[in-house]
Structure 1
Amino acid sequence: MGRGKIEIKRIENATNRQVTFCKRRNGLLKKAYELSVLCEAEVALIVFSSRGRLYEYANNSTKSTIERYKKACNDGSKIGSSAQTNAQYYQQESVKLRQLIQNMQNSNRHLLGEGLSSLNIKEMKQLESRIERGLTRIRSKKHEMLLAEIEYSQKRVMELENESVYLQAKIAEVERLQQVNLNMSGSELSAIQALYSNCS
């Protein structure tokens, strides 16, 4: 039969407590050694008995392992501090962006003539100036587009006029050639008639 579970609590009998300590200590030291060999782990084990006696095991050096542990703790603390700083920064940036979006939405509403009751006289004048500047830019752009459209239309009219002149010239040339052909046909007919008369 297997051994039953031992209740984990303080052993009252001093002798039994010392025997258990020795057995468990040796087992713990053995496990530490096996871990360091099998897994190439850096292991340092420190045990103080109830009487204050020190027992230790280290596959490298207890002191160097402790120093490495302290350094790792400090590095971890720095990483945690850096992560916290980054989190605060992004949180602040998020607040700024939300505020910027809110301001832009309010500005657009004001430009549409909405939500004006929240503005004072100075802000109303500033809004009026913005609208006037915007209208000036709009009128300027509109004028520029109209001029470009007029210029294009004038150019197109000239092209159509040139095409019309060209077509009229072609028509006149065709009519002239047709007239020449008609005149030539009449002369030939007269010559044939004259020849026929002489023969009779």
Structure 2
Amino acid sequence: MDELVVSTDVYVAPEEAYEFLVDFPRYERYTEYLDRVSRTRGDGGPGSRYALRFAWWKLTYTARSEVTDVDPPTRIDWRIVKDIDAHGSWRIEPLEELPSDAPTDAEEGCRVTLEINFDADSADSSSVSLPPLVSFGWVLDRVKDLVTEEAERVVRRAVSDLEGRERDVRLDVRDDTESL
């Protein structure tokens, strides 16, 4: 199982960060390759399902995800329900004190972490219609390279929307993979 973890400090209350992150359809605004997110079932809590339509190169794919657990305002857990063994979470932890480089008008903050766990070898090659002479392995190798970039982009853009301003965002990125 491969793991990617991206985290940063956000200068809003944990409750505000949680409400923002539990709104999955908003995510389409943060990534280059996610065209659309549609809620297919539920109210955002456990059991809610989403269709996430990705487009990259000449390929499109709709991932089906499900919220598996929530613990407001500290955690949102999810999993992909078909075609690949993948799951993850958003974690929100209040900061005991603001760091010295926090914006001067910040009153409180939290550490926001996106964790993604996936088994690339579990991907179902029949789930994607490929152009002639293109192997599923080739596509998988390219997509794995995009996972880290996209996770970083999502977190940076979410921070900007949460705080209502652009700023340099220091990301802590850890990947425990041989494939990333």
Settle same-fold status: TM greater than 0.5: no
Q: Identify, as 1 or 2, the structure richer in helix.
A: 1
Greater length-normalized contact order (CA 8 Å, ≥ 6 residues apart): 2
Larger-Rg structure: 1
TM tier, smaller = under 0.3
Q: Identify, as 1 or 2, the structure richer in strand.
A: 2
TM-score when normalising by structure 2: 0.18
